């Protein structure tokens, strides 16, 4: 637009100059004629005439100057236009070069970005693989934990203990004047209270109820025979003792030893020997039956009867109870075992089943359940919150379902390994390594057919666990002794070990 305006001004200036040039030429002709005429005039008038013509001459020169000025201005504008055009062409070429170089740079940058993206993809792929492995490991731990760390489990254990405490308190009140055994506060034992039950829905809360001799009676523990180092065939012999002193001071009993049978039958309830014993030995099945018959009635006298219904389930050597929450319908399975304490230690003669096909009703096998529970708590406190001791036990217990290995064997293996591998190496980051250690140790024990009982012959037990002196000084007991005597049993456990190893590998790799 500015260029068009300048050209218009130039055209107008040239037209004005053409008109002006014609006028100047006409004036020049007139001047020439006048000068010819003036030549004939006198010299006196020459001087005057010169002074008169000077303005006209100056005017003429001024007109010529204007013409040349306009021509110079036109040339200047034309030159300026040429320079502007060249500069624009140079600018366009430089822009083209810049754009070409920019394209090259962009292509190079794009190639670098592609290479970086490939590297990033490779790194992400590796990280993703690691993440998948970690997720698998976490998933396995979750499968092993089976909601154990959910909010319900600790409160459930506490709830069960409170319910059984109320029940046993009512039992002691009802039987306070009888000659039945005295039942003390129950002790939670087993996987539920140790925190490694494999499946929440199948959890049975097991409690051991210490049994003490009633007034006028004494318990004598017959622990060993010649071929029974674990006291699996131990018995509880019941004896009567003199109560004459109490009879004289309180007058609430008659001495069983110094009164006639007729007098005792007429004035006093029968002794424990006459009710729950076979010969002179406390009978497991009679004791369980006595408790099962009366427990439902006694439960109705407790405060918890308004919140939970109690159902007694069939059992011979323990009392199995099903508690149902009236409002929610939630069911809790409880198993009560009865046990006679060995001195002031954590070892009991209990009513638990034995591995034998037939167990006499007067047999009270030796149990380390309370000692195991205390030692387990001791380990967890020392190992800290991130310990995988429970997780390893839970994972293996879940895997062992339907196999020949018992959870007691696995727990014994872990107890021994904790003494070999420092507790600092039992953290969550070591979960897979510890599973591998347990499998290797199990294979080692099977190969040499030897797994030592953890409590018998162990002289390094902490003060938190109280063992009888005979346990500390005894010769270690081999739990795999039967493999030495039975080649078929050895073949079966080796086959089970291979199955266990394959199951663990599938669970770790595929989660199933």
Tens digit of each residue's pLDDT (9 = 90 or more) over 7-40:
555 555 455 555 555 554 565 556 566 556 655 5
Which CATH number fits the domain that encloses residue 419? 1.10.1410.40
Q: Write out the residue range of the structural domain in which residue 507 sits.
A: 120-150+369-512
Of 69, 59, 55, 58, the closest CA to residue 16 belongs to: 69
Provide the pLDDT confidence category of residue 97 given band limits of 50, 70 and 90: very low
CA distances, 244 to each of 228, 249, 251, 270 (Å)? 39, 9, 9, 17
pLDDT at residue number 144: 43
Task: Identify the band that residue 354 occupies on the pLDDT scale cut at 50, 70 and 90.
Answer: confident
Banded pLDDT at 373 (limits 50, 70, 90): very high
Question: In angstroms, how far is CA 204 from the centroid of its own chain?
Answer: 24
Q: Are residues 248 and 288 in the same domain?
A: yes
* Separation between Cα atoms, residue 508 and residue 512, nearest integer Å: 8
Final residue belonging to a domain, choices 313, 338, 367: 367
% of the chain at pLDDT higher than 90: 44
pLDDT for res 20 = 53
Least confident of 57-61, 102-106, 226-230, 393-397: 57-61
Q: Which two tokens stand for residue 96?
A: 């083209």
Cβ atoms of 187 and 370 within 8 Å: the answer is yes
Q: Is residue 111 part of a domain?
A: no
Whether residues 251 and 288 share a domain: the answer is yes
Indicate whether 293 and 210 sit together in one domain: yes
Same domain membership, residue 399 and residue 297: no
Q: In the structure, what pLDDT confidence band is assigned to residue 340 with cuts at 50, 70 and 90?
A: very high
Highest mean pLDDT, choosing among 91-100, 192-201, 493-502 = 493-502
The model's pTM: 0.69
Residue 98 lies in a domain: no
Whether the predicted pLDDT of 117 surpasses 70: no
Residue 114 lies in a domain: no
Once rounded to an integer, what is the mean pLDDT over residues 410-418?
Answer: 94
Tokens (6 digits) for 233: 């065939």
Q: Are 436 and 425 in contact (CB under 8 A)?
A: no
Highest averaged pLDDT of the listed ranges 3-7, 158-162, 403-407: 158-162
| 26-40, 399-413, 479-493: which is most confident | 479-493
Overall domain count for the chain: 3
pLDDT level of residue 99 (50, 70, 90 thresholds): very low
| Nearest Cα to Cα of residue 232 among 352, 346, 79, 378 | 352
Task: Give the H/E segment covering residue 278.
Answer: strand 277-278
Share of the chain above pLDDT 70, in %: 66
Residues 190 and 145 in one domain: no
The confidence band for 360, taking pLDDT boundaries of 50, 70 and 90, is very high
Question: Could you tell me whether strands 235-240 and 204-212 are parallel, antiparallel, or unpaired per DSSP bridges?
Answer: unpaired
Same domain flag for 190 and 292: yes
Identify which of 381, 366, 377 has the alpha carbon closest to the alpha carbon of residue 467: 366
Q: What is the mean pLDDT of residues 482-498?
A: 88
- Higher-scoring residue by pLDDT: 106, 202: 202
Interval 273-317: pLDDT, tens: 999 999 999 999 999 999 999 999 999 999 999 999 999 999 999
Residues 197, 310, single domain; the answer is yes
pLDDT at 485: 84
Quick one: pLDDT at residue 501? 87
> Do 300 and 199 fall into the same domain?
yes
Residues 403 and 376 in one domain: yes
Identify which has the larger pLDDT, 160 or 354.
160
Evaluate whether residue 423 is within a structural domain.
yes
Q: Is the model's pLDDT at 187 over the cut of 80? A: yes
**Residue 62 pLDDT > 50, yes or no?**
no
| Average of per-residue pLDDT across 238-244 | 93
For residue 135, name the pLDDT band (cuts at 50, 70, 90).
low
In-domain check, residue 355: yes
Structure tokens at 18: 């053409």
474 within domain boundaries: yes
Q: What is the mean pLDDT of residues 447-470?
A: 91
Q: Is the pLDDT of residue 255 over 50?
A: yes
* Residue 399: predicted pLDDT: 83
Beta strands in 154-271 (DSSP E): 182-183, 187-189, 204-212, 217-222, 235-240
Greater confidence, 132 or 328? 328
Q: Is 326 a domain residue?
A: yes
Of residues 24 and 223, more confidence is placed in 223
Cα-based angle 423, 451, 336 (whole degrees, multiple of 5): 80
Instruction: Give the pairing type, strands 204-212 and 182-183.
Output: antiparallel
Of 367, 382, 411, the last residue of a domain is 367
pLDDT exceeds cutoff 80 at 443: yes
Q: Hey, what are 450's tokens?
A: 């030897």
Distance CA 9, CA 120 (A): 67
Whether residues 467 and 478 share a domain: the answer is: yes
Q: What is the mean pLDDT of the chain?
A: 79
What is the CATH number for 157? 3.30.460.90
Q: Residue 201 pLDDT more than 90? A: no
Q: Are residues 423 and 502 in the same domain?
A: yes
Q: What local confidence, expressed as pLDDT, does residue 96 receive? A: 44
Contact criterion met (CB below 8 Å) for 370 and 346: yes
Same domain (yes/no): 294, 381: no
Rounded Cα gap, residues 326 and 304, in angstroms: 11
Angle subtended by helix axes 369-383 and 407-420, to nearest 10:
40
Reported confidence tier of residue 267, pLDDT bands at 50, 70, 90: confident
Q: Would you say residue 40 lies in a domain?
A: no
* Single residue among 317, 351, 367 that ends a domain in this structure: 367
């Amino acid at each position: 637009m500015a260029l068009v305006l300048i050209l218009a001004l130039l055209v107008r200036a040239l037209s004005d100059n053409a008109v002006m040039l014609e006028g100047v030429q006409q004036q020049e002709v007139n001047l020439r004629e006048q000068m010819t005429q003036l030549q004939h005039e006198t010299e006196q008038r020459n001087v005057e005439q010169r002074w008169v013509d000077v303005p006209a001459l100056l005017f003429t020169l001024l007109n010529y100057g204007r013409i040349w000025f306009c021509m110079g201005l036109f040339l200047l504008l034309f030159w300026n236009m040429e320079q502007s055009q060249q500069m624009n062409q140079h600018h366009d070429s430089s822009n083209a070069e810049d754009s070409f170089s920019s394209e090259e740079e962009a292509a190079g940058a794009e190639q670098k970005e592609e290479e970086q993206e490939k590297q990033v993809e490779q790194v992400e792929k590796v990280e993703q693989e690691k993440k998948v492995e970690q997720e698998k490991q976490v998933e396995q731990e979750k499968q092993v934990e089976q909601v154990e760390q959910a909010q319900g489990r600790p409160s459930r254990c506490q709830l069960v203990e409170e319910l059984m405490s109320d029940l046993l308190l009512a039992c002691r009140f009802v039987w306070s004047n009888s000659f039945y055994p005295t039942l003390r506060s129950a002790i939670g034992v087993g996987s539920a209270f140790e925190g490694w039950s494999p499946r929440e829905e199948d959890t049975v809360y097991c409690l051991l109820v210490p049994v003490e001799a009633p007034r006028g009676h004494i318990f004598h523990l017959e622990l060993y025979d010649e071929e029974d180092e674990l006291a699996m065939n131990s018995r509880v012999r019941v004896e009567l003792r003199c109560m004459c002193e109490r009879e004289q001071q309180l007058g609430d009993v008659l001495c069983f030893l110094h009164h006639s049978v007729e007098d005792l039958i007429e004035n006093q309830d029968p002794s424990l020997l006459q009710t729950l014993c076979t010969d002179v030995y406390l009978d497991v099945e009679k004791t369980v039956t006595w408790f099962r018959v009366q427990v439902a009635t006694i439960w109705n006298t407790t405060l918890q009867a308004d919140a939970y219904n109690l159902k007694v389930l069939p059992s011979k050597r323990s009392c199995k109870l099903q508690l149902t929450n009236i409002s929610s319908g939630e069911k809790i399975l409880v198993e009560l075992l009865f046990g006679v304490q060995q001195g002031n230690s954590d070892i009991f003669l209990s009513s638990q089943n034995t591995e034998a096909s037939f167990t006499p009703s007067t047999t009270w096998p030796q149990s380390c359940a309370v000692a195991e529970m205390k030692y387990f708590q001791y380990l967890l406190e020392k190992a800290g919150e991130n310990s995988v001791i429970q997780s390893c036990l839970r994972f293996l217990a879940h895997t062992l379902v339907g196999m020949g290995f018992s959870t007691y064997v696995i727990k014994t293996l872990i107890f021994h390994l904790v003494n070999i591998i420092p507790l600092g190496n039992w953290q969550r980051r070591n979960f897979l390594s510890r599973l591998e250690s347990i499998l290797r140790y199990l294979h080692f024990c099977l190969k040499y057919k030897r797994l030592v009982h953890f409590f018998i012959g162990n002289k390094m037990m902490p003060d938190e666990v109280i063992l009888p002196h005979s346990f500390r000084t005894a010769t270690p007991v081999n739990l795999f002794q039967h493999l030495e005597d039975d080649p078929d049993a050895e073949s079966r456990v080796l086959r089970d070990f291979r199955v266990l190893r394959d199951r663990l590998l599938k669970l770790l790799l595929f989660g199933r």
